[in-house]
Structure 1
């Protein structure tokens, strides 16, 4: 059973991405949680992924430049600062 939960970082990142959109299965979430208990890099990736997903979900259409569909420079800097805080 121990080998069942051992996954590589690449798989952990894929599961993390799926989990952000509620597409990961219960077993995948268990594997991911087990992996990030021991892998600091994937734990950081997971935290950063949550921040970016949350920022994207909270972004209102008025906050986006309609011509380029990009965040304003000040919003980009806020995201960078938040990511640095958890690093």
Structure 2
């Protein structure tokens, strides 16, 4: 099948949609995505869900471990793992 200059596949549209979410898509990619969104309900739904997920993550009050806490937890895990491997 010949690859089209203007029209993209659903998989490529999903990839570009992900890039758009992180401001990594070029203007040409964004144009091709918008064109696909006009006629493809699957890509439109994927884009809508992707946007909703990003907004939910931004609005969440998730607190991550600090670097020191993470390294301490990792070292404790490694110690316990070493004990288990010896037994």
TM-score category by the smaller chain? 0.5 to 0.7
- C-alpha displacement of 1:48: 0.5
Aligned to 2:38: 37
> Which protein has the bigger strand share?
1
Runs of 4+ in 1 over 6 A off after TM superposition: none
Aligned to 1:6: 7
Bigger radius of gyration among the two: 2
Q: Distance in 1 between matches of 2:31 and 2:41?
A: 17
TM-score (norm 2): 0.65
Q: Distance in 2 between matches of 1:33 and 1:9?
A: 12
Structure 1 unaligned runs (5+)? 67-87
- C-alpha displacement of 1:56: 0.6
Structure 2 unaligned runs (5+)? 66-87
Superposed CA RMSD in Å reads: 1.6
